[in-house]
Amino acid sequence: MNLDTGKLRALTLDLDDTLWPIWPTIARAESALQAWLQRHAPRVTERFDLAAMRADREAVARERPDWAHDLSALRRESIRRLLVAAGETEALLDAAFSVFLAERQCVDLYADSLPALQRLAARWPLFALSNGNADLVRIGLQPWFRGSLAAREFGVGKPDPRIFAAACERLGCAPNEVLHVGDDLRLDVHGALDAGMQAAWVRRDGEGREDDVIGAGVRCWQGPDLLALADRLGV
């Protein structure tokens, strides 16, 4: 699809798996949490290895679909359950979650992310729109963004059109004047298009033909990274 750059006044960007790979980050955060629990709540790690801790986190997500927009709540509940099951005090919950959350902010940016953000932010206001719990200030990317909106803060997450509409309102733009950039076909591309926005699909794996993967009639830009998008936008 040819983007309507003549109308473009702002960009919203997904964070996890768009600016950095999320699973290496989560793995490090879980390992840091496990190490902290081994020192401060050893009965948890005696009973649950890392695989069992991850399985419990997934079980909480299945049991609490009403928390799907709040990954912090899901993680906290999982830690609480592990503490209780192992006979440790729930008073450790806040400290344990803080260890996980701090390490979760230690991301490794894709090589293209920072130079692309610099180019894009020099031309348009950028706004972070995420279902995750990344903190742009702690990560060090705040200077490139005019603002951010997380599903946890808003109450619903992508692909719900309401969170996209809220981002457009905060930017002071009509939906068709905003390009949403993300890695997930359902959450980012279809969510943005359903909200009346333009969409860019960052497909780092590069697999599949456009019609095979996106679906006939779904119109969006797609490319291998953010620098390719910056090139396409002429910045």
Rounded (5°) CA angle 13-16-19:
60
Q: What residues are labeled active site?
A: 14
Distance CA 24, CA 14 (A): 17
HSE of 8, CA atoms in CB hemisphere, 13 A:
23
Question: Using an 8 Å Cβ cutoff, are 32 and 99 in contact?
Answer: yes
Distance CA 39, CA 35 (A): 7
Could you tell me the end-to-end alpha-carbon distance of the chain, in angstroms, rounded to an integer? 18
Residues 6+ apart with CB under 8 A from 94: none
- The pair of three-digit structure tokens given for residue 145, joined into one six-digit string: 């963004």
